[in-house]
Structures are given as C-alpha cells and as structure tokens.
Amino acid sequence: MILPWDREVIIGGSRADYTEIRVERTWSTAVTFRGRRLEAATASEDQGGFVRALNRGSGWGTASFTSLDQLEAMVARADELSRAVRLERPIRLADVPPQQADRVPDLDGDVRGVSLAEKKRLIEAYNGEMLAVSDRIVDTLATYRDEVSEYWYANSEGALLHEVRPEVTLSGTAIARRDGTIEKGLESIGLRRGWHSVQGKAAGFRAVAERAVRLLDAPTVRGGTYPVVLDPELAGVFIHEAFGHLSEADFVYENPQAREMMTLGRRFGKPVLNVGDNGAASGLRGTLPFDDEGTPTQDTALIREGILVGRLHSRETAAAMSERPTGNARAISFRHPPIVRMTNTYIGNGRGTFADLIRDIKLGVYACGAFGGQTMLENFSFTAAYGHMIRDGQVTELVKDVVLAGNLFQTLDRIDHIAGDFRWNQMGGGCGKGGQYPLPVTEGAPHVRIEAALIGGDVPA
C-alpha cells in the first residue's frame, strides 16, 4: 500500500498519546435538468485531510487541511489543541485491534472514464421519459450525480487502511397539475457502484410521472385510526428516522431522557420485530469495510425478538458506556470529525406474504413510499408518497395525503405481522446530523403491518 505521506515521519513525530489521520481525494460530476432546460453540469476534484489528536486528561484536538504540505503542521496543531482542553471526565477509547487493508472494489464501469456529455445524455433521456407521460406534467427536475473517493486512514496504534469508494445517484421529480391541484412523483436511485449500474432505469422515471398524474384524481385519505401496512420503502425510512437515531450512542449517552427510554433489555415490540444496522452488507450506500476510526463494520442487532439488545457506537461512546464498538463512527468528508452514524439500517424479515398481511383487514391503509417526515424524541410524523385503501382483504383505490403519526414505542409495540419479502431500498439522498449532510445510508425492510395507527387526512364531517 502506498500512502500519500510518510507515515513514520508524520505519525511517529507526533507528541500526542493518540493520533489519527484521514486523507481523501474525490472526483465528482453532476448534471441537472429542469423541465427541458439543462440547468447545471459540473465536474470537480477535491482533496484534503483531517487529523485528530488525544492526550490523557485532555479533549480532542482536530485540524483539517487541503494540501498534504500542511500535514506535519496540522499534526502538531491537533496535539497543541488537545493539550489546551482539560476535562474532568477523561476521554477513553475502546480497544480495537489495528487493521491493515487495501480495498479496491469492482467499479462496475468507472464513472471517471465516462464523458460529461454521455452523463448528460443519460439523465436527459430519463427526464424525457417523465415529460412524455402527459401534458399534465408541467415541470420536472432530474439529476445525475457520481463520485469516486480514494481514502487513506492511519493511526498511532498501527492501523493502515486504503479504500476506493464509488457512488452514483439518480433522482427525478415529476410535477403534475390540473387547475389548482398539484401533485408530484419522486424517483431516487443510489448505488455504491458505477456507470453500468444506472443504465436501463427509464421505467422508474416514467412510473413516478404516471403516478403523479393519477394522484390528481385521487381522493385524500379519510383521517382516523386504521390497521396500516407499510411498504418496504416507508417501513425502512420509518425505522431509520424514528428509531435509528435514538440508537446512536452519543445521543443516548449525552441525554438522560434518552438513556431512560433506551435501556437495554426493555421490550419494544412483539417477538416478530427484529431491527439492526449492517455496515458490512454487500454493495449498499452505507456499506464500508471500516468506519472513520478504523473499526471494522458489522451487523449490529438493535432489537431482537422485540427486546432492545444493542446500540451504535464509536470507540469513545463504547468506552464511556462499557460496551463494544460497532464501527459506526463516520464523517461526511475530510472537513468533519467522525460522529456516531447509521450505515444500513433495517427491519428484519418475517414470514408469509403481503397477501397474508392484508387478508383479515376489513378497512385499512396501505402506505407506500416516503416524501419526508419529522421526529421529536419518541414522537414522529411521516408523509407517504401515496397510498391505497385496503377493503375486505384487497388493495383498492389510490389515495393521497397519507400522513402517519404517533409515538414510536406504541407504534413498534403494535407491529403484529411482518412479511418475508425483505428488500434494501437503494435510494439516493442521505442522512443529516451535527451539520454533516448528506451522509450515504441505506434502509431496508419487508412489508410491515401495524395493527392500529393514526392516519391524518380529511376529517369526517
């Protein structure tokens, strides 16, 4: 492995008790169409690094840089800053055997070898698929983005890592209008692969535009409490946003209310419910062999058969809570320190089929896709992209403005049936926390049934 700096000189010369260095070099391009107009086409290259230093009885000292010529000075600066911060409660790091690895994946068509003109033609064609659906499609937004990052990590304990991280994302929004009614459809694809992986995606762009047009004629769901079935996309977003952030140990450790809520051994649901976070899953946006502290990623069980059994850790939070590190210390770029973040968060597979979930529902809601949501500790509200009514065990009419709201713990406890049709939702976008957005993550789930959930919509007269 060839490092872009002299490890022995730089790390060996540090006065700090612990030193770590991350260096990244990133190539990226983006092309955006709005309607039929090319709005932006960019290509960029970025390089820099981040140093953290820690001394006994002191806090972290950090420094970032954009030129390797600054590295030696930044190592000294991080040590100086650490020594200036005196703490009553010293920072400790959980032990992690130092790793040495060189990981270069199959790039599946290296995007760096594809011209910007070819990328423009691809997203222009997908944008055209949305525009061609109907004259009721009055606007579109379609974006292609790619990125390849070369990454190096070393620390004073002997870790030495090199990795190449590819990513390509597509997104499309179709806006439909009739008189004063406006509806939208959203397509989003995100893959840790290359150019070949985003070919042949026209059908998805066309489908969201067609749905936006159909939503113009769809009624708003009647508000009330129903049995609700979540499709895998919405179930995955729900578990990430409503539960996953509460599982991040920095939040739990620093928040007495959260520590009480998230006590290991507490029953959160029925035995059918299993939740985890798997940074080692193959080929997903949140997949990494190691986190940004050099800890190997893993499949971490969070809820097992309805009981809280784990949480997500950095080395610092693991030591503070006398637990094991899980490989969840992540930084969005070399400009930021690693903090505890999710990777690929999921609801585990159940048994049976989608038909089994709806067979005994007399009147319910099938909520699909996700347009966004918000959480406040254990309370949440999510807007589905669309929905269908369930009547006498059958999926029936399309409905819109489906908003799922409630208390996380009550809702988890009301999950009474999970199908065996798990899938990873390979969408673009990302997760935000502590000023670091968008961090690549993935959510996954099968179809999930909640025996009673509050759905917002039209209020019956």
pLDDT digits (tens, 9 = 90+) for 315-356: 999 999 999 999 999 999 999 999 999 999 999 999 999 999
What is the per-residue pLDDT for 13?
A: 86
Whether the full predicted model's pTM is greater than 0.85, yes or no, is: yes
Instruction: Give the 3-state secondary structure of 5-30.
Output: CCHHHHCCCCCCCEEEEEEEEEEEEE
Exposure string of 305-318, with b = 16+ CB inside 10 Å and e = fewer, is ebbbbbbbbbbbbb
Asked if the model's pLDDT at residue 10 lies above 90, the reply is no
Kindly report, as residue ranges, where domains of CATH 3.30.2290.10 are found in the chain: 7-215
Confidence grade of residue 460 (pLDDT, cut at 50, 70, 90): low
CA atoms within 13 A on the CB side of 212: 32
CATH class of 7-215: alpha beta
Q: What is the pLDDT of residues 101-115, one digit of tens each?
A: 999 988 889 999 999
233-263 core/surface letters (b: 16 or more CB in 10 A; e: else):
bbbbbbbbbbbbbbbbbbbbbeeeebeebbe
According to DSSP, the residues that pair with 373 across neighbouring strands are 382
Whether residue 357 is predicted with pLDDT greater than 80 in this model: the reply is yes
Q: pLDDT, tens digit, for every residue of 258-297?
A: 889 999 999 999 999 999 999 999 989 999 999 999 999 9
Work out the pLDDT band at 12, boundaries 50, 70, 90: confident
Report how far residue 407's alpha carbon sits from residue 387's, in angstroms, rounded to the nearest whole number: 21
pLDDT computed for residue 457 by the predictor: 67
